[in-house]
Copies of this chain bind each other. A is one copy, B any other.
């Protein structure tokens, strides 16, 4: 068979524009459409996929937001992007991101405890002063070398359930699948600091090395803060990459 039609009409497991979007994305990523190559016009796609223009445009709009294509009025829609960086626009946990790039990622739990939330944590998680929270400390390994210390704080109703779970894997999929929390977005803040003693020790650092510190506050889809973390990465072995657009 060919590459396109037969989008499974009938009762619709997935929206048509999702199927078309994913199909186009696959063809872009596997090189069927090369960089700067023109995609078929919206009209052509209408007949190829057998849907209306609005559906095609919805698929293209998503790809545009992902940075995979760009359009020029009067000319057409073209494949834009060269490479990897890409999907860091999407909220991913450390392990998810690394696995997607073929690294072997693991984690070791240092401690898990219930405590009175520090002021910054309480503010971030929208707690009252004096409220308690769950703290999870972990070390992250990449190819068996320690690269990151992770301090995560959860509100009680979320964190309570963690004492009985295996925390050596990724927490995001756990929140979504086991706890049924739909994650929405995250506010991220980065700066650079010098390693303190504890960090130095766990990351096998010499005195006075630079640390890339990430503060990440993750919300559920309704905007409620779910997870506030400090991530301290070895400056010499980790880069944080992403892509943004102008206007």
Taking Cβ atoms with an 8 Å cutoff, the residues of A that contact B are 35-36, 54, 61, 65, 67, 70, 72, 78, 80-82, 85, 88-92, 172, 183-194, 208-213, 221-223, 233, 235-236, 238-247
Contact = CB atoms under 8 A, between A and B. Distances in A.
Contacts of A88: 244
A72 B246 CA distance: 28
Given A183-B246, A193-B235, A247-B90, A241 B188 contact: yes
A185 B244 contact: yes
The 5 A-B pairs of least Cβ separation, nearest first, read A192-B235, A91-B246, A192-B212, A192-B192, A192-B210
A229 to B, nearest CB: 14
Contact of A91 (B194, B223, B245): B245
Contact of A245 (B90, B191, B211): B90
Contacts of A185: 67, 243-246
A233 B90 contact: no
A62 to B, nearest CB: 10
Contact of A210 (B184, B188, B193, B239): B193
A17 to B, nearest CB: 13
Nearest to A54: B54
Given A192-B212, A192-B235, A244 B89 contact: yes
